Amino acid sequence: MTPLAENSGSAIVAAVIGLGSMGMGMARSMKRAGLDVVGYDITPAAVDRFVAEGGRGAASPADAAKGADIVVSVVVNGAQTEAVLFGSKGVAAPMKRGAVFISSATMDPAIARDLAARAQALGLHYLDAPISGGAARAAKGELTIMASGSRQAFDRARPALDAMAGKVYELGEAAGTGAAFKMINQLLAGVHIAAACEAITFAAKQGLDLDKVYEVITASAGNSWMFENRVPHVLAGDYTPASSIEIFVKDLGIVLDMARSQRYPAPLAAAALQMYLAAAGAGMGGDDDSSLARLYAQLSGAQLPGFAKEPQGR
C-alpha cells in the first residue's frame, strides 16, 4: 500500500472509508470533480488500485481522516459506521473540529440519531446520507442521496454531494430522517425483487419463452424498475453479485424490527425476508439478489437458464 502523501494544494480534502463497488465509484467521482481524495479499505488491494489511479491511500480510517474537510463512510451497517467513527482507529478523534462526516450506510434511524449526537458532541457535523443507485451510478457520480442534517452539515458536505450525486434530497435537520427514507426504499426494493423473481420463475414453470416474457412485461403495467434491472441476470444465468442476498437479509430485517417496535404490520416485507433467508440458508447469501429466482426454481423444479434443480450458491 502506498503511504499517505501530503496534500500539496488547496483542494478540499475528502476521505473515503470503504472502497468497495460503491465507495470506489464515489471516490473516483470526487476525484474527477477536483477534490483531493484519500481512500481506505480493509482490503489493501482496493487502496492500491485507487492509488494507481492517482488517488491517495491511507493505512487506517484515522490516517485517512487527518486533515480531511469531509469524511465519507461507505460501509454496510450501523455497527460498522460506529467502528469507523469511534473505534480504536476511528476517524472522530483525528478529524478537524467543524469537519463533516457523511454516513452512507443503511441503518435503523435510531442508530443514526445516536451516532449524530455523539459526533456533534465532539464538534463534528454529521450528515445522515444513505445512497441509492448501485455501482454503475456511483461510478458516474449519479447517485440518489437521501440526506438529513443541519444546514452547516449540508454546506460543508456540498462539494462531495455535488460530485457523487445526480439527486440530493434534503429531508430535514434531524439525523435519522434520511435513514428512515432509505428503509422505505429498501422495503420496496426487497419486495419488488422477490416479486420479479417469483414471476419470471413462474413463467419458466409454464414453459414460456423467457426473453419474450421480459419484452412483454417491460412494456406493460406489471413492470417495475427491479424487474427490468434484475431479470436480465436470470436470463443470462449470471448471479455475480451487484447487490447480494445478504444485503436484503439485513435491510428487510431492519424494516421488520422498525415495524415491530411501532406495532405496524408489514406482511409483504416479512414474506420477502423469509425468501431471502431461505436463499442465504441454501448457500446463495453472497450471490446476486436475483438468486431468489434460483430458489424458486429449486422449490418448483422450474428450468432457468444455466440452472437445473440444484442451487448454484457457494
Residue found under cell 473515503 = 16
Spatial separation of the C-alpha atoms in residues 4 and 59, rounded to whole Å: 8
Single-letter amino acid, residue 304: L
Residues 236 and 254: their CA atoms lie apart, in Å, by 31
CA atoms of 163 and 173, how far apart (whole Å):
22
Q: What are phi and psi of 101, to 5 degrees?
A: -105, 120
Q: How many helices and strands (H and E) does the chain possess? A: 13, 9
Q: How far apart are CA 101 and CA 116, in angstroms?
A: 9
Q: With beta carbons less than 8 A apart as the criterion, state whether 217 and 223 touch.
A: yes
Hey, is 126 helix, strand or coil?
A: strand
Using CA atoms, how far apart are residues 42 and 56, in angstroms rounded to an integer? Answer: 15
Catalytic residue among 31, 96, 167, 182: 182
Q: Rounded to whole angstroms, how far apart are CA atoms 129 and 148?
A: 7
Which residue carries 455501482 as its cell? 135
Largest CA distance in the chain: 64
Strands across the sheet containing 56-57? 56-57, 36-40, 13-17, 70-73, 100-103, 125-128
Active site (annotated) includes residue 212: no
Q: Any idea which residues carry the catalytic annotation?
A: 182
